Amino acid sequence: MNFDPLGGFGIPPIPQIFSQQWAQVLSMLQSQVPAAAASAPAPVALSFDPQKLQQLQQTYQEEAARLWSGVGQSAAPLKDKRFSADSWRSNPATALTAAVYLLQSQTLLGLADAVQGDEKTRRRIRFAVEQWTAALSPSNCLAFNPQAQQKLIDSKGASLAKGIGNLLDDMRQGHMSMTDESLFEVGVNLATTEGAVVFENALFQLIEYKPLTAKVWERPLLMVPPCINKFYILDMQAESSLIRHAIAQGQRTFVVSWRNPDASLAQSTWDEYIQDAVITAIDTVRQITQAEQINTLGFCVGGTMLMTALAVLAARGDSSVASATLLTTLLDFSDTGILDVFIDESMVRLREMQMGQGGLLKGTELSSTFSFLRPNELVWNYVVANYLQGETPPPFDLLYWNNDSTNLPGPFYAWYLRNLYLENRLVQPGGLKVCGASLDLGQVDLPVYVYGSREDHIVPIQAAYASTQKLGDVRFVMGASGHIAGVINPPAKKRRSHWIREDGALPASHDAWVAGASEHAGSWWDDWSQWLAQHGGKQVAAPKRYGRGSAFQAIEAAPGRYVLQKAA
């Protein structure tokens, strides 16, 4: 079947740029299809589902004919916020340009979905198509963007001059500005909860926070944030700080602040991060507080590291931890969502060759990867606003944090990719040996609060829920929104919802869990606080000073030096 989605069916030819796009995308799609074996690198020929292809052809023909006959030219662009401004629909030429682009994009994505092959191949092809269609939007080009053109005229060229200045500034700083970074400073208007660093080593600083209540729970709380980001995502503005919220609930709170790795940490391994950071933090908190047991929380990769550490402790017969909270955390890596498109044997082997024995994964590379998971919202939106229209992005603390990137030690990263993302060995009893211990999550005998975000594109909700099938005493809660906004959702704002099963049942599938869950307005934080209080022990007088004795004295005020280090 001959199917040209860019100008067939006897209608007038569509702009040449889209024909070029189609040829480029097909070439790229071929390269995305994995070879049958490493010894046979030639890509596999693409084939399409005939029925899907026929339906796609019919739909394309009908929509294209409708556009070229003048029907719906002004309405179609309004379906996408990139073309929602009046200037796009007021001019028939720009309205048609936007409508044709949307039709082409829809068709190309339909072709990606019609590819015959395994699910991973289709995901890779769709991801590649999404990147190309996002990049080639007419809104990204001054020659096709009437909004940017009008601003250029109205400002007498000042918007373009400012846009070029913005571009040069971003090139100098090494990343694209998503917010006005001049308005934020860590320790001044971010990460301002009062506390002190009471311990540090080469990998992390341990921060103890000043109590806000006269009494605290006898079991302290240790938070382990992801080491691929700065810890202050848990302590942004005062009103959105999970750390401050925990302290206000009477939790004696400690937080790990990771060092931003430089060449001195280029040889650091997963085992070192587990033993010398997470387990060391647990031991240090116990020594400072003199508590027999502590409560713990891990966020994202921090949750994966925390559960690895708890499995090591379980294998050693150590019951230092009374409970764990996992926020948007992967334990079972069988469903890693969109990130799966990057992971296969050849990619992992390449990373092992590059940095498995030493080196650094640059933070800017990680940041760019996560941004391109949502290219329209986190890349091209800022290209248009910052460079074509010469605007200064509005202040947004989460986006400042998002650009405050961190490096990762190569051996740590390569181990993480192979053993967890590729081979999914953490959930296999005895599948991993870490710090000399054979791991079995089934031996981690403590209550666990598992939270997942419904629209999370980094830890899909099904993957977050999968942890409930690998652990024992679990309370699972689902929140609305995504990976960050779902977690950082203070109750005072009364935003979003969360879902709980009152019967506490944990069926095999997330869909089955949702079928029996009830929706509750607002944040999940209060539910978590009530659950955590049940595992806090008795209440005792709040400490009057940081640390303990001469062994653990205040080194410096929170947020400490480590969080201020920038990725080179």
Which CATH number covers residue 277? 3.40.50.1820
How many CB atoms are closer than 10 A to CB 412? Answer: 25
Range of the domain at 269: 195-342+405-564
Q: How many CB atoms lie within 10 A of CB 86?
A: 10
| Residues 91 and 211 reside in one and the same domain | no
Q: Are residues 310 and 414 in the same domain?
A: yes
Q: Does 184 fall in a domain? A: no
pLDDT at 7 (0 to 100): 33
Q: What per-residue confidence (pLDDT) applies to 568? A: 73
CA dist., res. 188 & res. 211, Å (int): 20
185 belongs to a structural domain: no
Residues, the chain, total? 568
Are 307 and 440 found together in one domain? yes
Place of tokens 């909270």: 325
pLDDT in tens, the chain (568 residues): 333 333 322 223 333 333 443 344 344 444 444 433 333 344 556 788 888 888 888 888 888 888 877 644 444 445 788 998 888 888 888 888 898 899 999 999 999 989 888 888 888 999 999 999 999 999 999 999 999 999 999 999 999 999 999 999 999 888 899 999 999 999 999 999 999 999 999 999 999 999 999 999 999 999 999 999 999 999 999 999 999 999 999 999 999 999 999 999 999 999 999 999 999 999 999 999 999 999 999 999 999 999 999 999 999 999 999 999 999 999 999 999 888 888 999 999 999 999 999 999 998 888 888 888 889 988 999 999 999 999 999 999 999 999 898 999 999 999 999 999 999 999 999 999 999 999 999 999 999 999 999 999 999 999 999 999 999 999 999 999 999 999 999 999 899 999 999 999 999 999 999 999 999 999 999 999 999 999 999 999 999 999 999 899 999 999 999 999 998 7
Kindly state the helix (H) or strand (E) to which residue 479 belongs, with its residue range: strand 474-479
Determine, yes or no, domain membership for 134. yes
CA distance 283 to 294: 9
Taking the C-alpha atoms of residue 400 and residue 404, their distance in angstroms, rounded to an integer, is 6
Same domain, 321 and 221: yes
**What's residue 92's pLDDT?**
84
Cβ atoms of residues 433 and 275 within 8 Å: no
Domain total of the chain: 2
Q: Which residues pair with 518 in a beta bridge?
A: 500
Note whether 72 and 216 are same-domain residues.
Answer: no
For position 24, what pLDDT does the model report?
Answer: 43
Residues 300 and 230 in one domain: yes
Is 77 inside a domain boundary? yes
Both 237 and 90 in one domain: the answer is no
* pTM across the whole model: 0.88
Does residue 423 sit in the same domain as residue 546?
Answer: yes
Place of tokens 């990719």: 417
* Any domain includes 351: no
Round the CA-based radius of gyration of the chain to a whole number and report it. 26
Check whether residue 428 and residue 535 sit in a common domain. yes
Q: Write 55-64 long-range contacts (CB < 8 A, 24+).
A: 56/3, 56/5, 56/107, 56/110, 56/111, 56/114, 57/1, 57/3, 57/5, 59/107, 59/110, 60/5, 60/9, 60/103, 60/107, 61/8, 61/9, 61/11, 63/103, 64/9, 64/11, 64/14, 64/103
pLDDT confidence of residue 28: 42
Do 421 and 304 lie in one domain? The reply is yes
Tell me whether strands 321-327 and 294-299 are parallel, antiparallel or unpaired: parallel
Domain membership of residue 436 (yes or no) is yes
Active site residue 227: no
pLDDT of residue 45: 65
Give the closest residue to 273 by CA, choosing from 263, 284, 261, 255. 261
Tokens matching residue 512: 């089955």
Residue 253 is assigned to a structural domain of this protein:
yes
Question: Which among 200, 458, 464, 467 is positioned nearest to 311, based on CA atoms?
Answer: 467
Closest-CA residue to 178 (of 404, 393, 368, 401) = 393
Do 94 and 216 sit in the same domain of this protein?
Answer: no
Residues 99 and 226 in one domain: no
pLDDT at 15: 36
What pLDDT does residue 216 have?
Answer: 98
Instruction: Tell me whether residue 147 is in a domain.
Output: no
The token pair that represents 248 in the structure block: 């206000």
Q: What are phi and psi of 38, to 5 degrees?
A: -60, -25
> 141, 227, 300, 435: which is the annotated catalytic residue?
300
User: Taken in order 473, 478, 484, 487, is the CA torsion positive or negative?
Assistant: negative
